[in-house]
């Protein structure tokens, strides 16, 4: 692992010299970089628990001035394994953004195995993003029409939710679409969204476009609005955000939640029957 980390640190130093401006290269957790350096230098026998993760903010000039963020997450055995890269910009639609990320992934797969490639990938992004830029305004396409007569609640099950980038996206998309609910990070990962049916469908569509080991819509509820009912009157959650319950090994790449506390949370929101649908057993409250 030390050899891999040494290569990663050398590439990170190179990127720092190429993008020295304020806000151009942003480390997610500088402490992880410091831990990796100490491990490589032999100052400690403890390998860093987390990945080296950072964002490079590129400023494109043609065909229009645009900022493009490339989020980078390096597996501990990179460059033997490919890095996890994700492109984000407010200047293109979600559909085009998904296609851009797909083409980047295909490009990475075509590169020689075992070589450092983040800098090469950034050059590809600079050369190819312009093909996806156009006059369309993504802000007008992010929200479906607010005319639904049906309330919905979607329960989504994932093998795990760990990536900081995915967790950020889950929060941002909920805000854009006006859905409420929560997501449970760790292993397994669970997402609940509620609101107008069309908005829940759109959220589920966006979530499916991300790269998952396994994800499925485990259950959904729909209620036709009648007798003066409103979408807000049927919500069981306020806002949207991450829920953490007694996480074990939370600072590593793999962590598990206290499912007893999670069951109690569902019970408090009158959703405890969903527990058996996810885990195949009746929920039990964790003894305090």
Please, which residues bridge with residue 223 across strands? 151
Q: Across residues 6-14, what is the average pLDDT?
A: 96
pLDDT band at 141 (very low <50, low <70, confident <90, very high): very low
Report pLDDT digits (tens) over 89-118: 878 877 888 889 999 999 999 999 999 999
Report pLDDT digits (tens) over 229-249: 899 999 999 999 998 887 555
Report pLDDT digits (tens) over 156-203: 999 888 887 788 889 888 888 899 999 998 888 999 999 999 999 999
Give the pLDDT of residue 189.
Answer: 92
pLDDT band at 255 (very low <50, low <70, confident <90, very high): low
Give the pLDDT of residue 247.
Answer: 58
For the chain, what's the residue count? 288
Q: What is the pTM of this model?
A: 0.59
Q: Say which DSSP state 63 is in.
A: S
Q: Is the pLDDT of residue 138 over 50?
A: no
Q: Is the pLDDT of residue 25 over 60?
A: yes
Percent of the chain with pLDDT over 70: 88
Give the pLDDT of residue 82.
Answer: 95
- Please say whether the beta carbons of 190 and 158 come within 8 A: yes
Alpha carbons 211 and 166: distance in angstroms, whole number: 9
Q: Measuring CA to CA, which residue among 194, 199, 240 is closest to residue 219?
A: 194
Report pLDDT digits (tens) over 54-86: 999 998 876 667 888 898 999 989 999 999 998
Q: Name the 3-class secondary structure at 246.
A: coil
Alpha carbons 283 and 275: distance in angstroms, whole number: 6
Q: Is the pLDDT of residue 12 over 80?
A: yes
Structure tokens belonging to residue 253: 């790449």
Q: Across residues 109-129, what is the average pLDDT?
A: 95
Q: Name the 3-class secondary structure at 181.
A: strand
Considering all CA atoms of the chain, what is the largest pairwise distance in Å, rounded to the nearest integer? 70
Close Cβ partners of 56 (under 8 Å, ≥ 6 residues apart): 15, 19, 24, 25, 26, 69, 70, 72, 122
Q: Is the pLDDT of residue 260 over 60?
A: yes
Percent of the chain with pLDDT over 90: 51
């Amino acid at each position: 692992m030390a050899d891999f980390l040494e290569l990663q640190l050398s590439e990170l130093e190179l990127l720092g010299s190429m993008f020295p401006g304020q806000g151009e290269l942003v480390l997610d957790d500088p402490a992880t970089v410091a831990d990796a350096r100490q491990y490589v230098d032999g100052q400690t026998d403890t390998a860093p628990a987390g990945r080296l993760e950072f964002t490079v903010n590129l400023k494109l000039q043609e065909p229009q001035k645009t900022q493009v963020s490339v989020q980078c997450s390096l597996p501990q055995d990179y460059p033997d394994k490919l890095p996890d890269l994700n492109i984000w910009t407010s200047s293109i639609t979600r559909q085009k953004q998904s296609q851009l990320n797909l083409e980047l992934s295909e490009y990475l797969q075509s590169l020689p195995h075992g070589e450092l490639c983040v800098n090469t990938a950034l050059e590809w992004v600079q050369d190819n993003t312009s093909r996806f830029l156009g006059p369309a305004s993504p802000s007008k396409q992010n929200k479906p029409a607010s005319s639904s007569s049906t309330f919905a609640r979607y329960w989504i099950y994932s093998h795990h939710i760990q990536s900081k980038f995915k967790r950020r996206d889950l929060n941002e998309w909920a805000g854009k679409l006006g859905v409420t609910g929560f997501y449970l990070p760790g292993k397994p990962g669970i997402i609940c969204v509620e609101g107008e049916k069309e908005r829940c469908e759109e959220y589920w569509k966006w979530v499916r476009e991300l790269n998952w080991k396994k994800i499925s819509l485990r259950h959904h509820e729909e209620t036709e609005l009648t007798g003066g009912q409103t979408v807000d009157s049927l919500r069981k959650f306020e806002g949207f955000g991450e829920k953490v319950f007694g996480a074990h090994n939370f600072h590593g790449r793999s962590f598990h939640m206290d499912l007893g506390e999670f069951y109690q949370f569902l019970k408090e929101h009158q959703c405890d029957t969903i527990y058996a649908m996810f885990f195949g057993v009746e929920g039990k409250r964790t003894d305090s």
